[in-house]
Structure 1
Amino acid sequence: MSNADLKVKVWRGGQEGEFVEYLVPRNPNQTVLDVVTYIQRKLDSTLSYRFACRVGMCGSCAMTVNGVARWTCRTHVSQIVEGDALEIAPLNNLPVIKDLATDMREFFNKWKGAVGFFKGNQTRHDDFAKVEPDSKERQLANAGIECIGCGVCYASCEVVEARPNYLGPAALNRAWTLANDIRDTQQIERMRAVAGDAGCHACHTQGSCTDRCPKAIEPTASIAGLKKLIAKSAVRGSKWGKL
């Protein structure tokens, strides 16, 4: 081992597995994804992981790095490593398929469970719906609409860890953006879905989702918004009526 080497522990196996150590040359401006790619191409071609864009657009390279969920393509080794030790594992709170690749189906199923999909009432023959850029509805929806579904917030959420049925910050953030979309026609169904035991009231507002989001989205604020809408509906009825 030279002074320029990194001692990299990488999770190998499925849900049951172990960390295996590799020595990787250290380079200037090296990202964690560069490290994983070096291992797969130079040291062990059986290593499984995901990546696509390499520029922070797709989120598919998210992993747990030194205990924290991160985009590995945007995480530079020099920013997080003190000394020569680096640990890379799959995302928490998700089943491990193999090595650093997790099964994302439950994550996206919870988006569906939160009615996190748009449904309108216009056809291609109608004029485009208009939402004024400076309207309250547009501003509230825009706050969380940049989510790309990388799973970092979900993997960082203590409530998901303790309560696997919890819908999670990404699904609830998506529900919040659609709750503020005046074109959507599923508002009552959505509010009922997120008001359940697995919904927004299960959030303990610990803020890990907001702290870790690579896009600087605030799912904690979105969840708080849902709580207010539900409380308003329960007390005096919302713009959609009582739930």
Structure 2
Amino acid sequence: MDQLIAKLQRAIALSDDDRSSLLAIFSNTRYFKRGRDILREGEQPEHVHVIIDGWAAHRVTLVDGSRQTTAFLMPGDFCNGETTLLKRLDHGVVALTPVTIGTATRERLTALLLDRPNVAQAFWQTTLVDAAVLRTWLVNIAHRKAYQRIAHLMCELHTRLSCLGLVSGSTCAVPLTQEQLGNALGLTSIHVNRMLRRLRNEGLMEFQKRTLTLRNIEELHAVAGFNPSYLHAKPSH
């Protein structure tokens, strides 16, 4: 839960009571194996889930049964924060790695948000940032070429992980396959592989064995047209 507390505190300072109250309501945990559904599209969950360890993804199922990834979830991210207000999920959540989640009933979280305004402000700010990320993904897929799409997503993931203190130098673990990256970007895994190789050959970044290293961050940002302001967070040092 440290990542959740740290994420919320980047929005607004939380008191000791705020933090202890959050820890108390999310004290129950569950474990999911890689590939398992954490939540199903159309489900009406009674609990709100937060990622404690591992990576997951939001996915929307199309009529033909194919699935589109609409978000990558890291430690500290809510799987279904909208459950506080909306009953039915318009997306599913799948574990991309082994995942541990903390769970709180919708009623307990709603009561906490009403009782503790700083927690509420931080919670809603993270929800708005999630919406900003989704808008940015839409622009990325609709208006950038494959080369820029991959560069932009890698810049985003690196920045988010840096905010969690999970970047060492310019290197971080990104436990995603090329197929998973392609599903989020509207590209085939073959196209993703080709673009990753080009980015590596140009000395901008490397993505091998699920490890991401940015070799020339400023140039990569320029190539991608990446401006991290939509994430509303400062990297951890």
TM-score by length of 2: 0.26
Per residue, is there more strand in 1 or in 2? 2
**Quick one: higher RCO (CA 8 Å, sep 6+), 1 or 2?**
2
